[in-house]
Amino acid sequence: MLRNEGALDRILRIVFGLALLSLIFIGPKTMWGLVGLIPLLTGLAGYCPLYRLLGFSTCPMKK
């Protein structure tokens, strides 16, 4: 699978995903925290289907 996320983008997605997932256990204890799985999984994989659809990439080009 191709990567279309750069290092900073991946780190931010993972942190944001974990923060959203924490809503399940800490704070309002709402199931909306499961939305955090999306940025977490895309950050871990380094691939975002929406980026591909839009033709966007934050991954530096390899020479």
Residue 41 lies in a domain: yes
Residue 60 lies in a domain: no
Residue given tokens 């895309």 in the structure block: 42
Residue 62 lies in a domain: no
> How big is the chain by its Cα radius of gyration, in Å?
13
DSSP state of 10: H
pLDDT value at residue 62: 64
pLDDT 10s digits, 3-53: 899 999 999 999 999 999 999 999 888 899 999 999 999 999 999 999 999
Burial 2-32 (b: 16+ CB within 10 A, else e): eebbeeebbeebbeebeebbebeeeeeeeee
Q: Tell me how many domains the chain contains.
A: 1
Tell me the HSE value of 11 on the side-chain side, using a 13 A CA sphere.
Answer: 3
pLDDT value at residue 63: 47
pTM of the model: 0.87
Residue 20 lies in a domain: yes
Residue 1 lies in a domain: no
pLDDT at residue 60 is higher than 70: yes
Domain of 44, in residue numbers: 7-54
